[in-house]
Amino acid sequence: MNTENNQVDSKLPFRKLFPLGLQHVLAMYAGAIAVPLILGGALALNAQQITFLIAADLFTCGIATLLQAFGIGNLLGVKLPVILACSFIAVSPMISIGKQYGLTTIYGAVIVAGIILAVLAPVFGKIIRIFPPVVTGSLITVVGLSLTSVAFNSAAGGTGSKSFGDPKNLALAAFTLLIILVVNKYFKGFIQAIAVLIGLIVGTIVASFMGMVSFSAVSQASWLHIVTPFYFGVPVFRVDAIITMTIVSLIAAVEALGVFIAVGNIVKKPTSTESLVKGIRAEGIAQLLGGVLNSFPYTSFSQNVGLLVLSKVRTRFVCVCAGIILIILGLIPKFAALATTIPAPVLGGATLVMFGMVAVTGMRILFEVDMNKSGNLLIIASAVALGMGGKIAPAAFALLPHYLKMILEEGPIAAALTAIILNLFFNWKEIFSDSEPIIHIPDELSS
């Protein structure tokens, strides 16, 4: 192994390792806490329950990151500097499942989907053929577009709020959005990478002067609490929910492969088929843990890849340190409760940018699809139309059987199924040929 490859496994002194690990935590923190805040708000959970969700999320993020960056022997982990957190692809489907069946059904579906992904890891190279860019790009575009309604509801004050639509809520959301845009324009490097986190902090400070911030949840939270498995109850297993989360998990794993390959290129340690299999298996086990520990399906976060380029530090132990920091934060409920003080309009202004970026990422993938190739334009048009149609006019499916209704009303899943089926219809010869499947690597990760 050459010297460059040795850098991936090299160890730094703690005085260097800790600040570099903390930097990774800060870069992903806004995205990590946004998921439990959005899900908790959509399912009308109280402040104590949302605090537990955030703590469980941070704790499990840490464990999942250790599984991937540190690994377990020769069984699990790609052993590259990557951070795991909940993919936004899973947010909308989880909200849909939770509203109809409750949190326990979400966790049941996440557990089974994680097991399926871990079992399929050795043959993932064959399965990935049905998820080319025309499929993943269509899905991610619909995910971003469909989630904008969640962001706007938060910006208006949060669903069910007595002040919903109050101009001061919209003004606060717009101010938060403006802060994020200004930071992105006038700062570079790490400060630019944490623009969303800065927007959340500044927006919350301004909201406190407007009398919109309450610290009661922080004062009531304890200083130490161990995350309890199945805190919200015994998991419930429903076929329709499991199908939905399995599709989400498979597509998130396709994106994770792109991250693994990109990171391998950045740190000058090309990924082998064996290491990719271990990485996908770790993704599956991380999702299984997410379901058990009242958290979410996890995948490698592309947001943190840019820091590898900025810091020029290639060792995976920086991410191992970040994982340990996340575990510690997850054990401190008071710290988790701080996130619940963020007013809905502030969260709405920030997530509007985040969800918009998800949609743009999907569009960028679609820009690379050959539109002259058989059926690709029809695949994209049909997937986006059906995906968004189910979100815009859900009443159209009111008379269908319940399991079918849930899948079709859930825009991203409808888009994914449409794209997969039509891609098989138009391109089945190429899909089942002996050629190697193409794994999409976003431009910002391959540079």
| Per-residue pLDDT tens digits for 8-20 | 888 888 888 888 8
Q: Work out the mean pLDDT of the chain and round it to a whole number.
A: 84
Q: Which residues contact 66 (CB under 8 A, 6 or more apart)?
A: 320, 323, 324, 327
H or E segment to which residue 102 belongs: none
Please state, in angstroms and rounded to a whole number, the distance separating the CA atoms of residues 100 and 271: 41
Tell me the pTM: 0.79
Determine if residue 205 is left, alpha or beta; phi over 0 gives left, psi from -120 to 50 gives alpha, anything else beta.
alpha
Q: What are the structure tokens assigned to 223, written together?
A: 């200083």
One-letter amino acid identity for 162? K
**Cross-strand partners of 299:** 85
Report the residue count for the chain: 447
State mean pLDDT over 91-119: 92
- Transcribe 290-335 into DSSP letters: HHHTT---EEE-GGGHHHHHHH----THHHHHHHHHHHHHHT-HHH
What phi, psi does 156 have (nearest 5°)?
-80, -5
pLDDT of residue 303: 66
pLDDT tens-digit map of 256-287: 887 887 788 778 887 788 888 999 999 999 99
pLDDT at 170: 94
Which domain, by its residues, includes 423?
3-446
Contact 387, 415 (CB under 8 A): yes
Determine contact, residues 134/317, Cβ cutoff 8 Å: no
How do residues 315-347 score in pLDDT, each as one tens digit? Answer: 899 899 999 999 998 998 888 888 888 888 998
What backbone phi and psi angles, to 5 degrees, belong to 76? -130, 145
Instruction: Tell me how crowded residue 58 is: count the other CB atoms within 10 A of its CB.
Output: 28
* Residue (of 115, 68, 57, 129) closest to 91 by Cα position: 57
**Is the pLDDT confidence value at 439 over 60?**
no
Q: How confident is the model at residue 436, as a pLDDT?
A: 55
How far apart are the C-alpha atoms of 273 and 75, rounded to whole Å? 13
**DSSP string across 215-248:** -HHHHHS-S--PPPTTTT-S----HHHHHHHHHH
pLDDT single digits (tens) 169-199: 999 999 999 998 999 888 887 787 778 888 8
Residue 181: other Cβ atoms inside 10 A: 13
**What span, in angstroms and rounded, lies between the C-alpha atoms of 252 and 296?**
13
Do 82 and 304 meet the contact criterion of CB atoms below 8 Å apart?
yes
Rounded CA gap, 173 and 167, in Å?
Answer: 10
Total count of domains within the chain: 1
Percent of residues, the chain, with pLDDT higher than 70: 93
Q: Residue 96 has what pLDDT?
A: 86
Confidence of residue 407 (pLDDT cuts 50, 70, 90): confident
Task: Classify residue 401 as exposed, middle or buried by CB count within 10 Å of its CB (0-12, 13-18, 19+).
Answer: exposed
Residue with tokens 């429903």: 238
Q: Reply yes or no on whether the pLDDT at 313 is more than 50.
A: yes
Q: 251-273 burial, b if ≥16 CB within 10 A, otherwise e?
A: bbbbbbbbbbbbbbebbebebee
pLDDT in tens, 196-207: 888 888 999 999
- 447 pLDDT higher than 50: no
Both tokens of residue 263? 């990171």
Q: What's residue 434's pLDDT? A: 56
Percent of the chain residues past pLDDT 90, beyond the cut: 27
- Per-residue pLDDT band for 383 (boundaries 50, 70, 90) equals very high
pLDDT band at 381 (very low <50, low <70, confident <90, very high): very high
Q: How many helices (H) and strands (E) does the chain have?
A: 21, 2
> What does the pLDDT read at residue 169?
92
